[in-house]
A = this chain, B = another copy of it.
């Protein structure tokens, strides 16, 4: 009854049953020929005595760790933690089904030392990159080291296995809807052009204009990074341009835009409409509720993890997986 004493090993089991360690190992793994009766005897004993294989030792012998590295953005000012969080849930849930655990690592722009250590120490069998860059040290490092990895979000690097939402198509759809609702003058506010996803969103935005045959006023594009600091100034500028709608690339921006509008006592949606290319809980409690795109973060995590595990096991995997999205129309664009 006292199983906290000393951990029981495969050798103990072998001794107790009068068989070899080999046999015990085979009974557990199911690999190699073994008598049905013998296997059952081993399994029964194991079950009764709460034997648990030492995954570390198993890993050493097989050169496997049963750990997956998840690289999170390590910057403080991150767009939407909730999204990564939920995605992480998905990864974890999927990993568990195959006995993998999650080793968490943070990476900051220009600092991938944390990831490097994990790889160099061979503590994981593969990695999931949660954020990608147009120029991506992480991708370069992992490719060089020949470590299996996938990305959530798209990567411009050749051969990278990527799982992403169809941002371009989603943004195109939302923009089209705005245009069809007769909002011709739409200001697009964004930031961080270094992220791949920013480019996709912008492309989708342009796509919609092209498809509708409406000329796009480039003066209504506010993509410079100073937006972050001087968002009030940006909003001022926008309002002077007599726009119908302010479209924000992500909710970090949306939140700040809404704040400025509130301070200026500008009513949404009466005075100006607002929508976001990205839906987070951050906006949930807003009055009015905000029109946005919805992406299923958990699904993203699960698919990414599944793909990585397949990759590790040498199975065939899709080079690029695009997940669906939803357009959620709310009060802010009424």
Q: Is A319 located at the chain interface by the 8 A CB criterion? A: no
Expressed in whole angstroms, the Cα–Cα distance for A52 and B117 within the complex equals 10
Q: Is A81 located at the chain interface by the 8 A CB criterion? A: yes
Q: Is A328 located at the chain interface by the 8 A CB criterion? A: no
A130 → chain B closest CB, angstroms: 13
**B60 contacts A4, CB within 8 Å?**
no
Q: Is A122 located at the chain interface by the 8 A CB criterion? A: yes
Select A81's contact among B53, B67, B81, B117, beta carbons within 8 Å: B81
- Which listed segment binds B: A33-41, A100-108, A159-167, A187-195? A100-108
Expressed in whole angstroms, the Cα–Cα distance for A144 and B96 within the complex equals 24
> Please, which residues of chain B bring their CB within 8 A of the CB of A74?
89, 92
Number of copies: 2
**A102 contacts B104, CB within 8 Å?**
yes
Residue of B at shortest CB range from A121? B55
> Please, which residues of chain B bring their CB within 8 A of the CB of A54?
121-122
Expressed in whole angstroms, the Cα–Cα distance for A88 and B114 within the complex equals 14
Besides A101-B121, A103-B104, 19 new A-B residue pairs in contact (Cβ under 8 A), listed by A number: A4-B145, A7-B122, A52-B121, A53-B121, A54-B121, A56-B60, A56-B123, A67-B123, A70-B104, A76-B86, A76-B89, A92-B104, A92-B106, A92-B114, A99-B117, A101-B105, A102-B105, A256-B285, A259-B287
Q: Which residues from chain A sit less than 8 Å from chain B, CB to CB?
A: 4, 7, 52-57, 59-60, 65-67, 70, 74, 76, 81-82, 85-86, 88-89, 92, 96, 99, 101-106, 114, 117-118, 120-123, 144-146, 255-256, 258-259, 262-263, 282, 285-287
Q: What are 28 A-B pairs with beta-carbon distances under 8 A?
A: A4-B144, A4-B145, A52-B121, A54-B121, A56-B56, A56-B59, A56-B60, A56-B122, A56-B123, A60-B60, A70-B104, A74-B92, A76-B89, A81-B81, A81-B82, A85-B85, A88-B104, A92-B105, A101-B105, A101-B118, A101-B123, A102-B103, A102-B104, A103-B104, A104-B104, A255-B285, A256-B285, A258-B285
